[in-house]
Amino acid sequence: MDVSQEQVSMTRHPNLLQHLNKRKATDMPVPYQQTFRLDIEKTLRALYVVGTVLKVNLNRSAPPTSKYFSVQCSPRVQYRITPPPLESGTLPTSLNGNTMLLITMDTASEVGNDSKLSVMYYGEKTEVLGKAVVHLTAVEISLDVDADRDGQVERNNPNKGSWMWGPNGHGAILLVNCDSEHTYGKRRDSDICEMSDLKDMSPMVLRTSGPAKLPEGYKLTMHISQGDAESVRVFRTRSTAENLLYKSFVKDYPLVLGSEDLSKEVPYLGGNAEMNFYVEGLRFPDKDFEGLISISLSLLEPSSPGFPETPIFTDRVVFRVAPWIMTPNTLNPVEVFVCSTSDNYQFLKGMRRLVENSGYKLKVCHEYMNRGDRWMQVSSEIQLLGPDFGYVTRTAYNVEVSSLDSFGNLEVSPPVIVNGKIYPLGRIIIGVAFPTATKGRNMTKVVQDFLWAQKVQEPIALFSDWLLVGHVDEFMTFVPAPDKKGFRLLLASPDAGYKLFRGLQNDGHGQAKMFDGLEEEEITVDEILSDDKLRAENNYVQSCIDWNRDVLKRELGLDDDDIIDLPILFHVMEENRAVAYYPDMVNMIVLGKNLGIPKPFGPKVDGRCALEAEMTSLMEGLGLCCTYIDDFASYHKLLGEVHCGSNVRREPFSFKWWNLEM
Amino acid sequence: MDVSQEQVSMTRHPNLLQHLNKRKATDMPVPYQQTFRLDIEKTLRALYVVGTVLKVNLNRSAPPTSKYFSVQCSPRVQYRITPPPLESGTLPTSLNGNTMLLITMDTASEVGNDSKLSVMYYGEKTEVLGKAVVHLTAVEISLDVDADRDGQVERNNPNKGSWMWGPNGHGAILLVNCDSEHTYGKRRDSDICEMSDLKDMSPMVLRTSGPAKLPEGYKLTMHISQGDAESVRVFRTRSTAENLLYKSFVKDYPLVLGSEDLSKEVPYLGGNAEMNFYVEGLRFPDKDFEGLISISLSLLEPSSPGFPETPIFTDRVVFRVAPWIMTPNTLNPVEVFVCSTSDNYQFLKGMRRLVENSGYKLKVCHEYMNRGDRWMQVSSEIQLLGPDFGYVTRTAYNVEVSSLDSFGNLEVSPPVIVNGKIYPLGRIIIGVAFPTATKGRNMTKVVQDFLWAQKVQEPIALFSDWLLVGHVDEFMTFVPAPDKKGFRLLLASPDAGYKLFRGLQNDGHGQAKMFDGLEEEEITVDEILSDDKLRAENNYVQSCIDWNRDVLKRELGLDDDDIIDLPILFHVMEENRAVAYYPDMVNMIVLGKNLGIPKPFGPKVDGRCALEAEMTSLMEGLGLCCTYIDDFASYHKLLGEVHCGSNVRREPFSFKWWNLEM
């Protein structure tokens, strides 16, 4: 087929080309322009990607003394000349130093080299000086993700290459595959073993149309940056050809990209084909990882023999890995976890009654699994292994890991509004040493850095180093409430404790005894109130809790009537560090409207524990039902309580984290 | 002085207290509230910080069966009761479970314990049940910085504790003290040796008023977090007392905070005093350091004897360390640096003429200082040492440092607007391997991470690994221009070279010789044009440069007429990597309107070098003056040119980086 036989396409203003002029006035995306070269010495073959613009500096390939040119092309090719020629309707056109030819095609080719464009160069007297010919093959290539977050991988979303927070935002989501499809271990590193694993991954689709094969020497390559390689892996399905021919040699879901493979060729399927990819997040955001990951697909063009290929087109998608999110007590429980040890039968019985009465599932971890560890909360808050239940481990660098790194020291508030700023997922609460302390235990910096990096539940640092165990759950918790902000902050309060004990004494119950019926030395209300040392210790404890109270009020936007003081006394042990004097009622488990509270064994009035009575009365006002669980021997005496000995998996927030305005 | 003798202050609505109610309706800052406790058993002494609110739960300290209360205070004390009592004008007031007393004072005390407040508790029949008394001392404490960025440390700026980008933003600035006050080394670590060092630091002022001394047991502590400690140091002036009494024992500017001291007591000067602090940034933003630093000042209150102090008030200021900023060729030069070696006399002579004619200072680094290194650009772009000239070193982790880590591979564009987004400080340009390359040299990840972390000149990654040396300055530079965007991008172009050579041949100069008069084998225009291998090599080079051209157009928002192609040929050496065939004119030095260009030794027409003629003609159109400097033997033959052999310190941007909208 000769150019002279072709129908000349004079379409000079197809839609795509107009964008180039309009883009300053509108916000339309700029078409992907590719510098393209003609050659008068040989006929070229070129691959064109639909949606891009080939831009040719006509002067660059013109023979010396060229003054005019003309363009001819087959019907499916459009071109435009810029600056637009002054002459209208005349052929040939004057050639200037900056005359550019812009070439586009609207649809993919069905066979290779099915279109053609040629430029004829003329001298002063319109004598022909040379002719540059290019055969064109058009393909459509689009690497697609669910950039509009509707669960569907739409075709070529214009926002797929960027990420924006908020309800008007965009950008695909990547889950961190941190659960375990096997019960007792992590899965092997570069295999996908279970279909359920695929469900934890984000879909990505490579859509291509064009001839059955790419022209000789062209290939598609998927690639990630060195920096992203430790955070993501990409798998794909087998192609039909692989299924038919190499089934036994190619894995069901071959690994495409990972830390060992920053770049790999991917099959071009041709026709109107889709290849499914599965993208797996490997780490949550962290201090050195904002959470954004780019995956690119490049089309490589062969160069002269002996030279490397060069990319001529790159499509790029962006994911953000989902942050690690905690669920506050105000969310409904799904499952409750406790440990069974040789000596916590009493506790387990109480928990079972509470959980079953509340209508939830109790999961008991038996000793052979928990290795004798009774502290479900402490070690498991972010380390539970099981399908759909993620775990995270952080490795501390050169820092002695302290008790403050346990996860009783990691709580989360219900949603709050603070000085007009909305936290729809609440705020994480951690316990650290006083900022002024020159020495003190601290949550390890890597854990703190990790928590801050999640961003969506901006952490609050409380002072918990005054406690012997050092956990925030020893002096605070949240319960749901039907009014005000939808919750109350409960704080342990020695002052409230002393007020209650003074009231008992005043009402003639000074001889009522604590710890009745336990293998513990009993003590009367009078004795407690006359213990000046205990009073001084509780004064100190109250000032420590008051500091935290003020921080929580500021950082959660709370008023005093959002806070309930619970009557709890402490005593101070070695190194001026405090423990609860009797079972620490604030260290409770919250299951909807049902609270599982450490049984305090307080002084009895008319046969009823005065501490339970006060606690029940305070909670009843909120429509909450208290169950007191005996954890005295199995947990309290070991410096923990109900909350430390259990863990709750809760329903996720209905609010989607990507809808946050950051 | 007894409370009954005091004048009763009934001021129930001082301004400060009203804020507490108004704050939901307005955006007024929330006053700092401190939970405060009364005690009916002993008279308390308390320190009050002007501007805060002491909040007392009256019920907490009330004797059992209390039903009413009354408050008395000395004239300088104001209080408010919430919820407001129903009875008006009647005393005593009913006591409820949530009755709160809010206490404020307007001005600092002149002597300790000069004010007093007492609460009397009454029973059912208004019989007195108890009385709580507190003696108050008011102080003003403010840690101040230049949060409005006007060069003055204003008093207690409400925004001092946060940082916001933009012309309507706020927040103090911290310089990174990266210059050397000594010529041949870094200064000692924990001393300030020179007054000039103080000028590189940000001022911070501790303002206090109140009695001459804090009440017994109170103290002021300045503190930083563990995370910030590696990024900042704080020095202070000596106090008057230290000057008088301990002059020989206390340094002129004692170190207050640093990596060894996260927390330190600072003197309370009393009266109306100011103590000057000097804050020194130690590192630029980086991948693991956003650039924000908090410094806090806490007031510590003594607890019962034997217990630790607890903080009762914390003031906090925030700094952002200035990013590392590059200066593009469009900014005026201040000084030009070159190296003198045993063999670069010819180059030095040319440079001296150029620089002196341009009216700037030439600084020659002699061999005993540069240790035989002739590549000023390469090793010095961010490592020059000298007063007011910063340096940065990045340590690579486990990565072989390659030639791509040199700073000829690090350039910066003039200010640009890209799809509506403004980059008033331009964009950094670095050279890396092709994204699709499975193997290739790359700029070390730590250097890339560092550059990206600066944020204000968001980097662009070009492909420079196709070059033997691998530097972006081998194929691109920017020159100032009087029109369009204020600059042109100059690109090396083999196509433009071939076009020029074909034109020469066509005009009958095919026998004109390159490298005339050099100790180099001469070659004619005809010979060049007939070398098919050279042509194939330059085809490949052109496609590599074209990829970069397309990236630069997209990322800098350039049109084709913002770009000028320079006639430069390459040839391809081992591993398919290219070097300039003749001195690489794009590797120039730009001094205002004067360009120092590697003398290309091109074919001569009528005694004039055709390459110089073309170059001069292209630049003359922009009002730029070309000086050709012979660097053939001293640099070109060693694979570098003028730009690599020099460095320019330029005037800083007039645009302030903190005015960027991020």
A644 is catalytic: yes
Residues of chain A with Cβ-Cβ distance to B262 below 8 Å are: 438
- On chain B, the residues whose CB falls within 8 A of the CB of A561 are 98
Closest Cα to residue B16, out of B63, B54, B64? B54
Tokens of A31: 């078409």
Both structure tokens of B444: 């070390």
> Residue with structure tokens 């029973």?
B123
Question: Rounded CA gap, A264 and B190, in Å?
Answer: 51
How far is it, in rounded angstroms, from Cα B546 to Cα A54?
12
- Confidence band for B180, pLDDT divided at 50, 70 and 90: very low
Smallest Cα distance from A285 to chain B, Å: 12
For residue B457, give the nearest of B382, B537, B378 by alpha carbon.
Answer: B382
**Mean pLDDT within B137-157:** 95
Q: Which helix (H) or strand (E) holds B545?
A: helix B532-556
Q: Which positions 100-119 of B are in contact with A (Cβ < 8 Å)?
A: 100
Nearest to A298 among B435, B449, B505 (CB): B435
* Paired tokens of A599: 């049984």
B335's tokens: 């000084």
Helices and strands, counts by H and E, chain A = 11, 38
Q: Which of B287, B294, B436 to mutate to test the interface with A (most CBs of A within 10 A)?
A: B436
Per-residue model confidence as pLDDT tens digits over B407-457? 568 899 999 999 889 999 999 999 888 766 656 676 777 888 889 999 999
The more confident residue out of A631 and A494 is A494
Tell me which range, B9-23, B129-143, B195-209, is most confidently predicted by mean pLDDT.
B129-143
Q: Give the tens place of pLDDT for each residue, A175-202.
A: 887 654 433 334 444 555 456 677 889 9
Chain A interface disruption, residue of B24, B419, B448, B543, most A CBs within 10 A: B543
Nearest by CB to B547, from A310, A502, A540: name it: A310
pLDDT band at A86 (very low <50, low <70, confident <90, very high): confident
Is residue A364 within 8 A of residue A349, CB to CB? The reply is no
d(CA B407, CA B471): 8
CA distance B282 to B390: 12
User: Under an 8 A CB cutoff, do B225 and A435 touch?
Assistant: yes
Q: β-pairing, B310-321 with B172-174? A: parallel
Residue of A366, A379, A372, A371 lying closest to A338 (CA atoms) = A366
More confident residue, A256 or A375: A256
- Residue A310 to residue B227, Cβ atoms within 8 A: no
Rounded Cα gap, residues B630 and B243, in angstroms: 61
Residue A306: closest C-alpha in chain B: B576
Max mean pLDDT range (A197-201, A631-635, B213-217) = B213-217
B539 touches A61 (CB < 8 A): no
The more confident residue out of A217 and A245 is A217
Question: 3-class SS at B445?
Answer: helix
Least Cα separation, residue A267 to chain B (angstroms): 15
Question: Cβ contact (<8 Å) for A298 and B436?
Answer: yes
Structure tokens at B514: 């390159």
**Given an 8 Å threshold on Cβ–Cβ distance, is B550 in contact with A33?**
yes
Closest CB to A35: pick one of B60, B507, B546: B546
Contact between A18 and A81 under an 8 Å Cβ cutoff? The reply is no
Nearest-Cα distance to chain A for B154, in Å, is: 24
Helices (H) and strands (E) in chain B, counts: 12, 38
Q: Is the pLDDT of residue B109 over 80?
A: yes
> Which pair of tokens denotes residue A660?
């946050």
Helix axes A532-556, A494-506, angle to 10 degrees: 130
d(CA A246, CA A259): 25
Q: pTM, whole model, 2 decimals?
A: 0.86
3-class SS shares of chain A: helix, strand, coil, % to 5: 20, 30, 50
Q: Between A and B, how many residue pairs show a Cβ–Cβ distance under 8 A?
A: 179
State how far residue A88 is from chain B, nearest Cα, in angstroms: 23
Chain A residues 535-564 with CB within 8 Å of chain B: 536-537, 539-540, 542-544, 546-547, 549-550, 553-554, 560-561
**How many Å separate Cα A326 from the centre of its chain?**
12
Q: How many CA within 13 A on the CB side of residue A215? A: 21
State the nearest Cα–Cα gap between A219 and chain B, in angstroms: 11
Lowest mean pLDDT among A314-318, B145-149, B394-398, B583-587: B394-398
Please give the pLDDT value at position B14.
Answer: 34
Task: Give contacts of B442 with chain A, Cβ < 8 Å.
Answer: 226
Closest-CA residue of chain B to A442: B226
Say if the Cβ atoms of B263 and A23 lie within 8 Å: no
Smallest Cβ distance to B442: which of A55, A226, A287?
A226
Q: Residue B495: which of A60, A311, A539 has the nearest Cβ?
A: A60
| A343 close contact with B: CB closer than 8 A | no
B311 closest CA partner among A88, A294, A546:
A546
Asked if B452 and B442 touch (Cβ cutoff 8 Å), the reply is no
Spatial distance between the Cα atoms of B130 and B600, rounded to a whole number of angstroms = 99
Q: pLDDT for B593-650, tens place per residue? A: 999 999 999 999 999 999 999 999 999 999 999 999 988 877 777 777 777 778 888 9
Is B263 close to A437, i.e. CB distance below 8 A? yes
Tokens of B5: 């003798």
Please list every residue in chain B whose beta carbon sits closer than 8 Å to the beta carbon of residue A300.
436
Report the share of chain B in percent with pLDDT over 70. 84
Note whether A290 contacts B: Cβ–Cβ < 8 A: no
Predicted pLDDT of residue B648: 87
- Which pair of tokens denotes residue A608? 């009823």
What ipTM was reported for this prediction? 0.84
Give the separation between CA A400 and CA A239, rounded to whole angstroms: 51
Residues 6 or more apart from B535 whose CB is under 8 A from it? B498
- Structural domains present in chain B: 3-140 (2.60.40.1860), 145-321 (2.60.40.1700), 333-659 (3.75.10.10)
Tokens at residue B267, please? 């003197």
Give the list of residues 6+ apart from residue B295 with CB closer than 8 angstroms, or none.
B143, B204, B222, B223, B224, B228, B232, B234, B257, B279, B316, B317, B319
Q: How many CB atoms lie within 10 A of CB A633?
A: 15
- The answer to whether the CB of A147 falls within 8 A of the CB of A170 is yes
* Beta carbons of A223 and B436 less than 8 Å apart: yes
Instruction: Provide the chain A residues 570-629 that lie in CB contact (below 8 A) with chain B.
Output: 572, 576
- Residues from chain B that touch A442, judged by Cβ atoms under 8 A, are 226
Q: Which residues of A touch B576 (CB under 8 A)?
A: 306-308
Give pLDDT tens digits for B235-266: 998 877 777 777 676 778 889 999 888 999 99
How many C-beta neighbours within 10 Å does residue A656 have? 14
Cβ neighbors of A232 (< 8 A, separation 6 or more) are A174, A224, A257, A258, A279, A280, A281, A282, A293, A295, A319
All residues at 6 or more sequence positions from B162 whose CB lies less than 8 Å from its CB, including other chains: B170, B171, B318
CB-based contact B436:A263 (threshold 8 Å): yes
Handedness of CA A512, A518, A523, A525 (dihedral sign): negative
> For A621, what's the count of Cα atoms within 13 Å in the CB-facing half-sphere?
11
Does B35 contact A at CB distance below 8 Å?
A: yes
Q: Is the pLDDT of residue B328 over 60?
A: yes
For B275-322, how does the pLDDT look when each residue is reduced to its tens digit (9 = 90+)? 999 999 999 999 889 999 999 999 999 987 888 888 899 999 999 999
Q: Do A225 and B553 touch (CB under 8 A)?
A: no
Residue B398 has pLDDT above 90, yes or no: no
* Cβ within 8 Å of B, A 410-439: 419-420, 434-438
Where b means 16+ CB within 10 Å and e means fewer, B38-60 reads bebeeeebbbbbbbbbbbbbbbb
Q: How many residues comprise chain B?
A: 662
CA distance B452 to A477: 41
B interface test, pick of A294, A436, A540, A617 with most B CB neighbours within 10 Å: A436
Query: What distance lies between CA B278 and its chain's CA centroid?
Result: 16
